[in-house]
Structure 1
Amino acid sequence: MNINQKPIQNETPIDSIGDAIVAAMTAGGVDHLFFTSGSEIGFYQEAIAKARAHGHNNPLRLVTVPLEHVSLNAALGYAAVSGKPAATAAHVDCGTLHYGGAIHTAWRSGLPVIMTAGFPPTAASGSMDGARDEGGHLWMQEVYDQNGIVRNYTKWSHQLAYQDNPGVITSRAIQVARSEPCGPVYLTVPKELSLLPAKDVRFPSADQLGIPRAAAPDAQSVEDLAERLIGAKNPVVVVSGSGRNPATVPALVSLCEMLGAAVVDSASKAYLSFPYDHALFQATTALKDADVVLVLDADVPWVPGRNSPPEDAYIAVVAHDPVRLRFPIYEFTAQVRLAADPLMTIRALAAAAQAALTAKDKARIAERIARLSKAAAKRWADAEAAALAQASATPIDPLWASYQLSQALDDNCILLDDTLGGNPNHNYLRCSRPGSYFRGAGSSGGWAPGAAFGAKLAAPDRDIVAVTGDGFYMFGTPGPALWAGAHHGAPFMVVVNTNRSYTTGTSAVIRTFGRDSYAAKQGFEGGYFDPPIDFAKEAEAAGAHGENVRDPVELAAAYKRGLAQIRNGKPAVISIWMKRLEGED
């Protein structure tokens, strides 16, 4: 494409390279920039203020966040809930390092996030605007390869150069981030360049560069897979990332009801891909008897040897990237891998199955649905009974806390889950509305506080509730996140399971070294942080409502008060005192 033939139409004057970057972001569908201040990224402030002053109808919103780790998690929360790309801005190498573990989460999320950072000036003092003229720190900030900090965790990275068209580069970043499988990109902008004039610069938007369309599945493979699913004795669908597109949820419900297929979460679940209150949603033990397995966009479908399917099961994998190129070692086997869009594949399978089903098939499937429905009802009843048995236990039992939370939340809630895979909270999930449940896609704890803030900006009319453990909660630097929620009118509630323990430093030690290990006998030094921070007081200091709950009878009322606070515009933290892991209180 000749960029001089179809330039974007700018609603505000472009006077500098910084203006062009902001204009390209807006044209590319980015409407929120999560910003943590730095002297070399002030061009964002000026360009966005200029757009507002000139009456731009849809200016990029600059969202002040006091810490980069929170800003990147907020961008992930915003992108997950809104379906739009989001951007961040950080201060040189120092701010990039402050992104911290959120870089890992972004890499595993499948979400379009444009990470940006300034680069310190290298022009000699007095030689041009933005040169090394502010202090000795400008020399300290230059490293050999700033982009190398995040290169292992990005689809694309670039440092803006003098000869670059800034609009083209920014549009290219957005194009790559939005192309499936979506993911983070990283752009660094030297201070001197951001201030250079760029009068009448012309460039294509990300959409004009072209966002690839979703790929349809191979027709013959679809027909073969549909026949196998129809003929299966125990077909199982494994889900994780397909729910990133909410439209896949009702489509998958229709397909599974047609086939009588059980649905289970993968070992790396991240999105609500099937209603948790549906009778076909089963425990992962269903995989043990599966003879045909359809894996829909799951990084880790199961842990080998732990609820994995039989060796002779037929396994089909469908994803935009069915071989998981972002994983250096990936040993999961499959008879077929389809590089295709999950939604298009679900619809194609439904059409093929509808045409092939016989009356005999339908009768057999009806019997299987009845069996699965009975199993689901028993599992829910058993989980409820287990929770009720702990209704008066002190310290508060995790089963009771999880059960009470499920009772407190309604269909207007978006739940963000930053707990470990074995957390009992998962047994009480009743989320059914597409886009109502998200889990940190990677293994870096601390995603929830920032993600909840970003989610609320994306869905201001929804109740945003995050649940996490106290260890992960502290990883999430909650103070800046709560401040941002209060300051920007984006309140959310965080439920903190306070057991003063690291699973990694207690239960995992036992799994590895045994209960007779030296570490266990000496009290798991490094596994506890007791007494903990007073999370209620910390919340109050950040402008939020905070409660520490120790009485199980008070739990339901505490949840209710927290929800009332966020509905009245104030973030809330409910800290629940629980028993320490693997030890006495």
Structure 2
Amino acid sequence: MYTASSLFLKSLADAGITHAFVNWGSDHPALLEDLERQRVEGDGRTKPEIVTCPNEMVALSAAQGYAQVTGKPAAVIVHVDVGTQAMAGATHNVDRSRTPVLIYAGASPFSSEKELKGTRNEWIMWLQDIPDQAAIVRQYMRFTTQISSGSTASQYVRRSLQIATSDPKGPVYLWARREVMEEEVSESLLTAPADLQQWPSIDPSGLSPTAATRIASTFLSSRSPLIITSFLGRNPRAVSSLLQLSTLLAIPVVSACPNAVNVPFSHPFFSGVTFLSPGTHSEHLARADTILVVDCDNPWIPANERQASDARVFVLDSGDPLKHTVGFWHVDAELVCRADAELALGQIVESVRRIDSEAGELALRTQEIEARAQLLSTQHAAMVRSLDEAETSYPAPTLDSASLTVPNIIGVLRRSIASQTPSRGAASLVLNESISNFPKVWQHLRPEVAGSVLSSGGSSLGWALGAAVGAYIGGEVMGVKDGKGFDLIAVVVGDGSFMFGVPSSAYWMARKYNTPFLTIILNNGGWKSPKLSMLGVHPTGHGSKAPGEKLSVGFGPICPDYSQIAVAASAGWAWGKRIGTGNESGNEALERTIAEAVDVVLKERRCAVVDCVIESI
């Protein structure tokens, strides 16, 4: 016997979804039954593969990590309204990061007197029957729909995925009543060919010839050009297009609140990272006369720093240049274009070369561009020296202060990955959820390869641990290196994001599904970001001198033993250690501990957690 659930699961698999991250409930009997039918009638496996997640936030974060690595959607299955709510901030993250995920939730039965198979037979089914379940998440979704009949389940799956994988990519939400998913369907629906070619995602589009020429000619006449981006590197091919334009005209590139590797760190025109706090933007911003904002969440904050009043600004975005899902968003620009970064930047390069050739003035070989290139290279070298100095300067050990800094820790981590992994770091992945230390971690990781460092793309804490599990699975599916997964996945968490990540669930999953990863905790004793926000408004107020513990943003005076939470959650499988205090402090202890932790992951195939005590809030 086949049901709507049989067709739903087959439709997911036919559409290329390899994994479903699930948290089961009373609305899923037909799905559980069909999965077991697949095991009995087949080779003991199911399509898609099921990853059990004891927490919905972790489930959606794992699906996000999978999709960020593969570029392909995973499925998430949760329980009625309560499971939908329990996805919590992960729903925000997949929306803001434009990550394609198909979310399915069951719903309470609509019959109560045995009229249909699947009718109400548990008391919770009255409590969980709400007027508009999809309203819980609708404003975060690209598409929400109800599956009303088993015969149309396949079409709903295909339409949902068509929307999820079209720019601006993002999550979709399907739901169905229990009776619908129990509905018997004809075997012919399951054996019918999967006609997926008729459901393509929207093809990327480029700039109009007029727009490409306008931007190119402005850049050619510019004396101080600048490019700002946040997430262009989500498409690795776009990085090549960006580098062509930057190199051709000696244009500095700044990553503003990055969540992907947009420019190789070693490129001489890469001008660093900013998270837009006062006084931290690139020195190029204030004097730039031409600015290209491409695939960027926010290029600057006017209340902190902004562009020159006479700067010519152009905005490019592949799917949502006006950020229509943001309540208020604005950049003073003379041209706003919906265009794929890879295509658009290539068009601008072509237009620059054409205009220069037609002018016959050899503008691309002027002394001005050569001088700008030399200046940018000199500035880049100075940035590298500054980072080197910060990484090798350790605080003097005292009883009352931390013996490690974030540059110390990330510098050692980067060098350990490079020296201990088979690919010398080229096939490794770092998930960065360091929050108040985002800028330092991004800079000191010095990433070279597009896709080698990722952030959640949103602002809800708790993404990284679950994402590591999903990214590990996704890496194996994609065959990152020689048909295998990543050499190493490392997670850097801070400001409470370890606790938000539900470690009791994440490390249980890591052991069950054999997805070992390294976790580095930047332990500042609580949440530093709320304190920084307070100081931004009340720099000399009553709270300016109060410690985090007193402000109620700290976990002290005795912080949890984070590493042992992971050990307990995995029944002793994970390895954990705290450093930065007592005898386990300073350069030698840090290098020894990180090296040991990397070995645990690489050679023993277990999770390792290093709890690094840094300056307390």
State whether structure 2 residue 252 is matched by structure 1 residue 262: yes
Matched to 2:60, the amino acid is: L
> How far, CA to CA, are the matches of 1:421 and 1:344 in structure 2?
34
Per-residue Cα deviation, 1:444-499 (whole angstroms, up to 9, x for no partner) = 11111111111111114211111110411111112211111111111111111111
Q: Tell me the residue number matched to 2:567.
A: 540
Over 3 Å counting, the alpha-carbon distance change for 1:328 and 1:511 in structure 2 is closer
Superposition pairs of residues 102-121 of structure 1, within 5 angstroms = 102-121=90-109
State whether structure 2 residue 159 is matched by structure 1 residue 172: yes
Match of 1:20 among 3, 7, 23: 7
Superposition pairs of residues 486-501 of structure 1, within 5 angstroms = 486-501=511-526
Do the aligned residues in 1 keep the contact of 2:435 with 2:495 (CA within 8 Å)?
no
Q: Tell me the residue number matched to 2:504.
A: 479
> How far, CA to CA, are the matches of 1:498 and 1:488 in structure 2?
28
Superposition pairs of residues 102-141 of structure 1, within 5 angstroms = 102-133=90-121, 135-141=122-128
Q: Tell me the residue number matched to 1:277.
A: 266
> How far, CA to CA, are the matches of 1:177 and 1:221 in structure 2?
28
> How far, CA to CA, are the matches of 2:535 and 2:173 in structure 1?
40
State whether structure 2 residue 233 is matched by structure 1 residue 230: no
Match of 2:387 among 383, 387, 402: 383
SS at match of 1:40: coil
Q: Which moved more, 1:268-277 or 1:177-186?
A: 268-277
Over 3 Å counting, the alpha-carbon distance change for 1:218 and 1:518 in structure 2 is closer
Matched to 2:531, the amino acid is: T
Superposition pairs of residues 295-374 of structure 1, within 5 angstroms = 295-320=293-318, 321-357=320-356, 358-363=361-366, 364-374=368-378
Q: Tell me the residue number matched to 2:241.
A: 251
Over 3 Å counting, the alpha-carbon distance change for 1:203 and 1:333 in structure 2 is farther
Matched to 2:300, the amino acid is: W
Q: Tell me the residue number matched to 1:562.
A: 597
Match of 1:406 among 414, 427, 430: 414
SS at match of 1:361: helix
SS at match of 2:27: helix
Q: CA deviation at 1:398?
A: 2.1
Superposition pairs of residues 41-52 of structure 1, within 5 angstroms = 41-51=28-38
State whether structure 2 residue 460 is matched by structure 1 residue 432: no
Query: Identity, % of aligned pairs?
Result: 25
SS at match of 1:229: helix
Q: CA deviation at 1:520?
A: 4.5
Q: CA deviation at 1:440?
A: 1.5
Matched to 2:79, the amino acid is: H
> How far, CA to CA, are the matches of 1:19 and 1:158 in structure 2?
19
Matched to 1:380, the amino acid is: V
TM-score by length of 1: 0.92
Matched to 1:193, the amino acid is: V
Do the aligned residues in 1 keep the contact of 2:248 with 2:364 (CA within 8 Å)?
no
Per-residue Cα deviation, 1:136-182 (whole angstroms, up to 9, x for no partner) = 12222211111111011111111222486111111111111111110
Q: Tell me the residue number matched to 1:552.
A: 586
> How far, CA to CA, are the matches of 1:350 and 1:147 in structure 2?
45
Per-residue Cα deviation, 1:283-308 (whole angstroms, up to 9, x for no partner) = 33322221111111112122224343
> How far, CA to CA, are the matches of 1:372 and 1:525 in structure 2?
43
Do the aligned residues in 2 keep the contact of 1:171 with 1:204 (CA within 8 Å)?
no
Over 3 Å counting, the alpha-carbon distance change for 1:47 and 1:259 in structure 2 is farther
Matched to 1:312, the amino acid is: D
Q: Which moved more, 1:516-525 or 1:552-561?
A: 516-525
Superposition pairs of residues 453-464 of structure 1, within 5 angstroms = 453-460=469-476, 461-462=485-486, 463-464=488-489
Q: Which moved more, 1:82-91 or 1:124-133?
A: 124-133
Per-residue Cα deviation, 1:318-353 (whole angstroms, up to 9, x for no partner) = 112211111121121211111111111111112222
| C-alpha RMSD over aligned residues | 2.2
Superposition pairs of residues 197-212 of structure 1, within 5 angstroms = 197-199=184-186, 200-201=188-189, 205=195, 207-212=197-202
> How far, CA to CA, are the matches of 1:152 and 1:205 in structure 2?
30
Do the aligned residues in 1 keep the contact of 2:28 with 2:106 (CA within 8 Å)?
yes
Do the aligned residues in 1 keep the contact of 2:35 with 2:46 (CA within 8 Å)?
no
> How far, CA to CA, are the matches of 1:487 and 1:59 in structure 2?
19
TM-score by length of 2: 0.87
> How far, CA to CA, are the matches of 1:115 and 1:149 in structure 2?
13
Q: Which moved more, 1:46-55 or 1:487-496?
A: 46-55
Q: CA deviation at 1:97?
A: 1.2
SS at match of 2:218: helix
Matched to 1:306, the amino acid is: N
Do the aligned residues in 1 keep the contact of 2:96 with 2:457 (CA within 8 Å)?
yes
SS at match of 1:467: strand
Superposition pairs of residues 76-115 of structure 1, within 5 angstroms = 76-115=64-103
Q: Tell me the residue number matched to 2:480.
A: none
Do the aligned residues in 2 keep the contact of 1:41 with 1:89 (CA within 8 Å)?
no
> How far, CA to CA, are the matches of 1:227 and 1:43 in structure 2?
61
Q: CA deviation at 1:421?
A: 6.0
> How far, CA to CA, are the matches of 2:42 and 2:459 in structure 1?
44
> How far, CA to CA, are the matches of 1:442 and 1:206 in structure 2?
31
Do the aligned residues in 1 keep the contact of 2:24 with 2:79 (CA within 8 Å)?
yes
Matched to 1:281, the amino acid is: F
Q: Which moved more, 1:408-417 or 1:105-114?
A: 408-417
Do the aligned residues in 2 keep the contact of 1:285 with 1:307 (CA within 8 Å)?
no
Q: Tell me the residue number matched to 2:279.
A: none
> How far, CA to CA, are the matches of 1:68 and 1:552 in structure 2?
39
> How far, CA to CA, are the matches of 2:545 and 2:28 in structure 1?
50
Do the aligned residues in 2 keep the contact of 1:272 with 1:436 (CA within 8 Å)?
yes
Q: CA deviation at 1:500?
A: 0.9
Matched to 2:526, the amino acid is: S
Do the aligned residues in 1 keep the contact of 2:89 with 2:460 (CA within 8 Å)?
yes
Q: CA deviation at 1:505?
A: 3.7
Matched to 1:560, the amino acid is: A
Q: CA deviation at 1:555?
A: 1.2
Do the aligned residues in 2 keep the contact of 1:505 with 1:528 (CA within 8 Å)?
no
Matched to 2:340, the amino acid is: D
Matched to 1:294, the amino acid is: L
Count residues in correspondence.
566
> How far, CA to CA, are the matches of 1:372 and 1:50 in structure 2?
63
Q: CA deviation at 1:125?
A: 3.7
Q: Tell me the residue number matched to 2:465.
A: 449
Over 3 Å counting, the alpha-carbon distance change for 1:216 and 1:506 in structure 2 is closer
